[in-house]
Chain A
């Protein structure tokens, strides 16, 4: 059964880099698109970006200057790095597969991991 699990620090200091990993099990990371999405009380659900297993990426322009998404096929996982974080980056971060052959449908999702930006 397919399962996505986010992991990473729950607390990040302002101006530092947020780093999260999504471990994928039950399906090969090859041949799919993989997304990061976040949810905060202030901004709701916000798409961060995707990576294709080949390494091609697309990011939300609002975050593009600070975001890097990468894939590690040997570990069947993909990762998110968000630099120069501020309190506005405090959110629950989700990873999700591109469903139904599309990069832009999110199915299924990981359970989410909360990240707080604070000194």
Chain B
């Protein structure tokens, strides 16, 4: 199965800062990568699909890029509600797999 490695594991930032999170796949997933946001006590929420497409209702400050094995999720200017854990998920091959998560904390 495809292993997804996310970095950094934890990032401490302030509101207004820019953040870039990374996801590396153990083999190519083409552009078949999604990003999810999970806040404490809540289910994950789809942010980005197919590497760079924002899901419905997701603010423009979230953007994704990459293809093959290396992907990034960027938040241009952190809002207080953006402090959460972010997961990548590949759908380039079965079984579907998730990364271990990156926590963005204040």
Output the least CB separation between B89 and chain A (Å): 7
**Interface SS of chain B:** loop
Question: Is the CB–CB distance between B49 and A45 below 8 Å?
Answer: no
Chain B residues whose C-beta falls within 8 Å of the C-beta of A104 in the assembled complex: 32, 91, 96
Q: Once bound together, how far apart are the Cα atoms of A111 and B39, in whole Å?
A: 12
Q: Is B68 positioned at the interface, with any CB of A under 8 Å from its CB? A: no
A11-19, A58-66, A71-79 - interface stretch? A58-66
Chain A residues whose C-beta falls within 8 Å of the C-beta of B34 in the assembled complex: 105-106
Which residue of chain B lies nearest to A35 when distances are taken between CB atoms in the complex?
B96
Known: A44-B101, A99-B49. A105 touches B94 (CB 8 A): no
Q: Is A107 positioned at the interface, with any CB of B under 8 Å from its CB? A: yes
Chain B residues whose C-beta falls within 8 Å of the C-beta of A10 in the assembled complex: none
Total A-B Cβ pairs within 8 A: 52
Interface range for B: 20 to 34
Digit string of A29-64 for contact with B (CB within 8 Å is 1, else 0)? 000000000000000111100000000001011100
Chain B residues whose C-beta falls within 8 Å of the C-beta of A106 in the assembled complex: 34, 36, 44, 46, 89
Q: Is B45 positioned at the interface, with any CB of A under 8 Å from its CB? A: yes
Within 8 A of A (CB), among B46-78: 46, 49, 55
Interface range for A: 20 to 34
Question: Is the CB–CB distance between B42 and A105 below 8 Å?
Answer: no
Digit string of A86-106 for contact with B (CB within 8 Å is 1, else 0)? 000000001010011010111
Q: Once bound together, how far apart are the Cα atoms of A60 and B95, in whole Å?
A: 6
Output the least CB separation between B65 and chain A (Å): 18
Question: Is the CB–CB distance between A45 and B46 below 8 Å?
Answer: no
17 A-B residue pairs with Cβ-Cβ distance under 8 Å, sorted by A, are: A44-B100, A45-B98, A47-B95, A47-B97, A47-B98, A62-B95, A96-B43, A100-B55, A104-B32, A104-B91, A105-B46, A105-B91, A106-B34, A107-B49, A108-B45, A111-B42, A112-B43
